[in-house]
Chain A
C-alpha cells in the first residue's frame, strides 16, 4: 500500500501555502514588481505516463512557477563562470536534498545529508556554487538515494559557453541536445514504502528524458538538424543499467568530453558505454537528409544481458534554411543575439519593409513565436540558448542563435 497516495488532500493545500511562502521569503522585493528567482521544489505525488498508457507515481523536482514536477526534473542551464544560487523549497512529506553531481562543489553544498544538510518538509535552502567548468552534469536527491532516484528525483545540468564552443579552445557547435538515460522498477514506483530491500531493485522501464518507445518518435523529441549543423549530444545516465549507444556512421559522431572535462584527444565513436552517473558529450554532424536513430541498449549491471533498447531519433530540416552565419541582405541580426533580434534584417524601425507575420521555431521544430514584429525586432532575452529558424512570409528562412 502506498501510504503517500493517501495523503490528506489538505496537505496539498498546505504544500502550496509553503511554496508560496518559500517563494515570498526568497523574493522580499516582490511587492516592487520584480520577478521571483527561479526556484526548484520537490513533490512526492507526481504522475508519470508510460508508453503503454499506464502510469506510475513519481517523486521529483519542478519549478515553483510551473507548479508540477517532471521526470526527469527541469534542465538547469548556466553559463561558464556563473555564480549560482540554486533555490530549493521542499513542501513534500519527506526530507530531500540536491546533490550537484560532478560540479565539485564544497562540502556544505554537496547535498549529502550526513556531511551537508537536509531540507526537511517545509524547509528551503540555497545551494551556492560557481559553475566554473563548461560541460554536462547531473543533479539528484541524496536522501535514501537508492529509492529516491528510482522514484525520479534527478535531472541534468548544462554549463555552457556563450561562444557556443564546448570548452575553451574546443569545437563550436550549433545546438545542444540533452538526453538523460534512466530507468525505474514499476513495482517500486507503485509501492515505494513496500519496496524494501533495496539491493534487489530490477528496473523494467527504460527511458530517455523520461520517454520510451513511441513517445521518443514524437516530433518534439527528435533531434532536428539542417545541412552543416553540428549537434552536441549531451548524454548522461541516472539509470541502474549500463547504456550502450550505437551511432550510425551517417552521424559522424566524435566524443569530445566526459564528466564535464575535455578529453585529452577526441575520438570518433560508433558505440559507447555509459555507466550510471557518467556523462559524455558527442558532436554529431548528420549527413544531409539523415533520418535515423541512435539505438541505446540497456544492459543489466548484475546479470549481463540486454533488457531493452530505446532510440534517439533524428530528423532533417529543409536544406533551404540558410546556413548559420551566412549573412545576406535579407538576413537577421545580430547573430548570435542575446537581447534583440531583427529577423528581417531591418536596420531599424519598420523591419526592412516587412510587415507580415513572422514565425520562429526552435531547432526541434517547436514554434516559439508567431506574430507581427514590434519595431521590427524580437525580444529574445528570456529565450533559452540555442538555434532558431525565423520565417518572414515568403522570404528565405534564416537561422540564428540565441546566446546569453
Chain B
C-alpha cells in the first residue's frame, strides 16, 4: 500500500509540472515607479475590471509586492493611470494617505520601516474593490521569503464600482473568485513568490496579507508554522499553528521549518474559497513543495 501511494503521488506531481509548464518570475526589488492601471482580468471564465499596481507601463494582472531594507526611507513615484483621484495608503501607524491625482505622477516618500511586512494600497472604495494592493516587506531577509496576497472577488460588484457606482452595504456579498497573489489555483503554482519551493531541512518566511473584503483562514498541510507578526492578532506572536485567521487588512508573517519532503497544500479552510466560480478545487490554494 505504501509503495502504491508514493508511486501515485510522484506521478501526479510530474503530471502537474508538465501541465503547468515553466514558472514565470516577477521582479521583487524595490521599484522606483509604480503604475496604477485600470484594465480587465479573467479568472475561470469571469471577466472583471481590475486596478493594479504594475511595475511598468505594461499591464500586469499581478500587483507588485516588494522588499526594502529596515530603517531606510525610499521615494517611489506613483503614476495614477485611473480616471479618478486616489489615495496611497500604507499600513503604518500614523501614516496619512497621499493624494494621487488622476493621470498624474506623485512622489510618495516611504518611511523608515521596522522589520515587518506592511500592506499598501488605495484608500478609496474603488481602489479596494478593484484590487489595487500589495505588500512591502522590510527585513526578514535571513531566509527565503514568500508572500501571499489574499483576495476575494465578486464580478458584479466590481463592474458596478468600475462604472461609477458604490457598494450597497445591504446587498449580500457573494464572491465567486478567490486568489493568492491575484491567481487562482492551479495557476498559483506558477507563482515563484507564492508557491513555496525549498529543500527539506531548510526554512523560509511567508508574508500573508488579507487584501480582500472578508476574513480568511488558511490551513497548512504537513507543517505547523511559527507566527512572527500578526498585525491584528498581536497576542499570537510566538504561537505555533497549522490553521490561522487573517482579518480584513491583516498582515501576518510566519516561519516555516521544512522538516519533511513532499508536496503539501495550503488552502483556505472556509471551503467556499477553494473554488473557482463554484467549481472545486480552485481559488485560494497553493502548495509547499519541499524537495528531498
Contact = CB atoms under 8 A, between A and B. Distances in A.
Contact of B217 (A126, A147, A277, A303): A277
Nearest to B261: A107
Nearest to A263: B239
Interface stretch (A60-68, A191-199, A215-223, A361-369): A191-199
B222 A275 contact: no
A107 B264 contact: yes
Contacts of A150: 271
A144 to B, nearest CB: 5
B241 interface: yes
Interface in B254-292: 260-265, 269-275, 277-281, 283
A149 B219 CA distance: 15
A400 B223 CA distance: 37
Contact of B239 (A199, A258, A279, A302): A258
B274 A261 contact: no
Interface in B46-75: none
Interface stretch (A10-18, A108-116, A158-166, A282-290): A108-116
A201 B280 CA distance: 13
Contacts of B242: 101-102, 104, 259-260, 277
Contacts of B102: none
A278 interface: yes
A102 B225 CA distance: 11
Interface string B198-225: 0000000000000000110101011110
B243 A277 contact: yes
A109 B274 CA distance: 21
Contact of A197 (B260, B271, B278): B278
B9 A108 contact: yes
B18 interface: no
Interface residues of B, number: 52
Contacts of B25: none
Contacts of B219: 101, 277
Contacts of A106: 222, 260, 262
B280 A301 contact: no
B279 A198 contact: yes
A146 B239 contact: no
A198 B1 CA distance: 33
Interface string B159-174: 0000000000000111
Nearest to A110: B221
A36 interface: no
Contacts of B243: 101-102, 259, 275-279
A128 interface: yes
A105 interface: yes
Contact of B271 (A145, A242, A267): A145
Interface in B12-26: 12-13, 16
Nearest to A115: B263
B179 to A, nearest CB: 13
Contacts of A104: 222-224, 242, 260
A355 interface: no
Interface centre among B1, B175, B239, B270 (most CB of A within 10 A): B270
Nearest to B278: A197
Contacts of A314: none
A259 B2 contact: no
Nearest to B3: A108
Nearest to B268: A276
A279 B4 CA distance: 32
Interface residues of A, number: 48
Nearest to A111: B221
A198 B280 contact: yes
Contacts of A149: 271
A117 to B, nearest CB: 5
A263 B222 CA distance: 20
A108 B6 contact: yes
A301 B12 contact: no
Interface in A37-94: none
B272 A198 contact: yes
Contact of A105 (B222, B272, B280, B281): B222
B156 to A, nearest CB: 13
B176 interface: yes
B153 to A, nearest CB: 11
A264 interface: yes
Nearest to B245: A275
A261 B1 contact: no
A240 B268 CA distance: 11
B123 interface: no
A124 to B, nearest CB: 9
Contact of B269 (A200, A260, A267, A276): A276
A114 B289 CA distance: 13
A401 interface: no
B238 interface: yes
B240 interface: yes
Nearest to A108: B5
A259 B224 contact: yes
A125 B1 contact: yes
Contacts of B240: 259, 261
B41 interface: no
Contacts of B2: 108, 128
A351 B12 CA distance: 63
Nearest to A242: B215
A275 B217 CA distance: 7
A281 to B, nearest CB: 13
A197 B277 contact: yes
A291 interface: no
13 contacts: A108-B2, A108-B6, A110-B262, A115-B262, A117-B5, A197-B278, A199-B175, A199-B283, A240-B270, A259-B242, A260-B224, A260-B242, A275-B217
What 8 A-B pairs have minimum CB-CB distances, sorted nearest first?
Answer: A197-B278, A107-B262, A277-B269, A277-B243, A108-B5, A275-B217, A275-B245, A146-B271
Interface of A: 99, 101-102, 104-110, 112, 114-117, 125-126, 128, 144-147, 149-150, 196-201, 240, 242, 258-261, 263-264, 267, 273, 275-279, 301-303
Given A196-B278, A242-B245, A276-B269, 19 more contacts: A102-B242, A107-B9, A107-B260, A107-B262, A114-B12, A116-B8, A145-B271, A146-B275, A197-B275, A197-B277, A198-B279, A199-B275, A200-B174, A259-B240, A259-B241, A275-B245, A276-B271, A278-B243, A302-B172
